Amino acid sequence: MSSLGSETSGRKQSPERARKARKRAPLDESALRDLALAYVARFATTAAKLEGYLARKIRERGVAEDADGRTSELDVTGLVMRLVELGYIDDEAYARGRSRDLTQRGYGKRRVEQALWAAGVEEQTRADNAPGEAAGRRAAMLLAKKRGFGPFARASLDDEADSEAVRKRKEKHIAAMLRAGHVFEHVRFILDAAHADDVEGWVIEAEEEERDDQV
């Protein structure tokens, strides 16, 4: 072997290259558990999302062989259920937080339910954590404020001379709010409202009704 070859083969890997090599190594139970713990420490997640992540990692890296050169199936479902039992994963808490986050960003019930479905949240948990009437109204109002729709427009559509332009713009606003997951009744009320105060009162009305129902 040449001196260059000997020198290269004896050279130690840099820490970065060694780390990457470990990342690519086939998985055993211990490595899979470490991946799962690292994932739940970094991300709010659900049992279904974690199971999908671990299954993908197994497909990418394969399963490590034992001393006899044999491989055994890794129990992904069992590992995920164990983390659920230990409280590392809580689908109910995830759904509650995700629903709150989306409505505070102006998204409606349908978009919330779609996001929870995509995360693997079960139907009953999705239903329990979907925004109610008051939260749906407030989210719709928030979006209208952010986008300048209806009575929150920078300039009133009624001031425009071109009625066709007004109609088309309103249709675009309707489409945008529907895409954001809002129910048509909420969209229609906001876009037809004459004043912003009317929308504020409409939201407060629903919030007061919910409070009365809880008493």
Q: Which pLDDT score is estimated for 3?
A: 45
The residue whose two tokens read 């394969």 is: 62
Check if the beta carbon of residue 91 is closer than 8 Å to that of residue 122.
Answer: yes
Listed as ranges, residues in the chain with pLDDT below 50 are 1-9
Q: Which pLDDT score is estimated for 22?
A: 55
The residue whose two tokens read 């491989």 is: 71
The pTM of this model reads 0.79
Q: Which pLDDT score is estimated for 156?
A: 59
The DSSP code for 208 is H
Check if the beta carbon of residue 125 is closer than 8 Å to that of residue 107.
Answer: no
Residue 187 CB neighbours (<10 A): 23
Q: Which pLDDT score is estimated for 166?
A: 85
Q: Which pLDDT score is estimated for 8?
A: 44
Q: What is the DSSP string of 111-155?
A: HHHHHHHHTT--HHHHHHHS--HHHHHHHHHHHHHHHT-GGG-SS
Nearest to 149 by CA among 101, 204, 196: 196
Query: What are the tens digits of pLDDT across the range 146-188?
Result: 999 999 987 655 555 578 888 899 999 999 999 999 999 999 9
Q: Which pLDDT score is estimated for 73?
A: 84
Q: Report the distance separating Cα 9 and Cα 27, nearest Å.
A: 26
The CA angle 181-185-188, to the nearest 5 degrees, is 95
Q: Which pLDDT score is estimated for 157?
A: 54
The residue whose two tokens read 């055994």 is: 72
Q: Which pLDDT score is estimated for 129?
A: 96
Q: Which pLDDT score is estimated for 212?
A: 85
Coil, strand or helix at 27: strand
Q: Report the distance separating Cα 123 and Cα 117, nearest Å.
A: 8
The CA angle 77-94-203, to the nearest 5 degrees, is 150
Q: Which pLDDT score is estimated for 17?
A: 60
Q: Which pLDDT score is estimated for 154?
A: 75
